[in-house]
Amino acid sequence: MQDIPINGLTGLSYLPGYFDREAQQDLLEEIRALVADAPLYQPVMPKTGKPFSVRMSNCGPLGWVSDINGYRYQPNHPATGNPWPEIPARLTALWQDVASNAPAPEACLINFYDTGAKMGLHQDRDEKTFEAPVVSVSLGDTATFRVGGLKRNDPTKSFRLQSGDVVVLGGDARLAFHGIDRVLKGTSTLLKNGGRINLTLRRVTRPD
């Protein structure tokens, strides 16, 4: 485990190679099954309707969605209207391992990056509580990840996220600006047709 201070913020820990190849394959199979039920869709930006380059789905009681009206968490898939599938046990076990003091995760956002997809610098602040960390899992091609501070213009640090890596964003770092600059084609054989999957586990509501 590596604690990486960024702009004086504490709470970012990096766990390279948390999942070995076999665990990555098992997790990938679980995600494939889940996405067969809750298909990846292309979200659009609020107001402008500009499509994201990343396709998304979710599992858990709540899922993060973006459409013309805004960003929000909701219990149903925007296209099928069905409840999101359950969070796989392997991921709740990960949360137990790295975020055991936090209330249980309610949402797992699934991001799929084709080569060429990216995610601009943003904060994750659509949750009603920031007391739990965000826990991220990377699968497939390596990505260049960028993290800054609490202000958009704070200096940023880049590092590479590889298949099997886990990042825990807790403490002050929970609200740091971050984004994905690019996905490096041909860096992993996990996904047959290349690309990258990122899973982020989140607590959304305040526990009672």
Query: Per-residue DSSP letters for 84-121?
Result: PPPPPHHHHHHHHHH-TTSPPP-EEEEEEE-TT--EEE
Residue 204 interacts with, from Fe ion, ligand MD3, none (CB under 5-8 Å by kind) = none
How far apart are CB 197 and ligand MD3 at their closest, in Å?
A: 9
User: Smallest distance from the beta carbon of 189 to Fe ion, in angstroms?
Assistant: 27
Q: Which does 198 bind (CB under 5 to 8 A by kind): Fe ion, ligand MD3, none?
A: ligand MD3
C-alpha closest to that of 92 among 54, 60, 51, 125: 60
Q: Give which of 17, 1, 6 is closest to 162, Cα–Cα.
A: 17
Residue 119 touches which member of ligand MD3, Fe ion, none, C-beta under 5-8 Å by kind? ligand MD3
Cβ–Cβ under 8 Å, residues 146 and 181: yes
Strand partners, 71: 66
CB of 204 to Fe ion, least distance (A): 14
Here's the x/- map for Fe ion, 117-146, by CB under 5 A: it reads as -------x----------------------
Retrieve residue 13's tokens.
């820990």
Q: Which is nearer to ligand MD3, 88 or 113 (CB)?
A: 113
Output the CA–CA distances (angstroms, integers) from residue 86 to 26, 82, 108, 170, in the order listed.
16, 12, 9, 24
For Fe ion, which residue has the nearest CB? 124
The pair of structure tokens assigned to 9 is: 């913020």
* Closer residue to ligand MD3, CB minimum distance, 38 or 119: 119
Tell me which of ligand MD3, Fe ion, none is bound by residue 180, counting a contact when its beta carbon lies within the kind-specific cut-off of 5 to 8 angstroms. Answer: ligand MD3
Q: How far is the CB of 127 from Fe ion (least distance, A)?
A: 11
Residues that bind ligand MD3 (CB under 6 A): 109, 111, 119, 124, 134, 136, 143, 147, 167, 169, 173-174, 176, 178, 180, 198, 200
Amino acid at 33: A
Sign of CA dihedral 189, 122, 204, 126: negative
Q: Among residues 136 and 163, whose Cβ is nearest to Fe ion?
A: 136
Minimal distance, residue 81 CB to ligand MD3, in Å:
23
What is the rounded radius of gyration, in angstroms, for the C-alpha atoms of the chain?
16
List residues binding Fe ion (CB under 5 A): 124
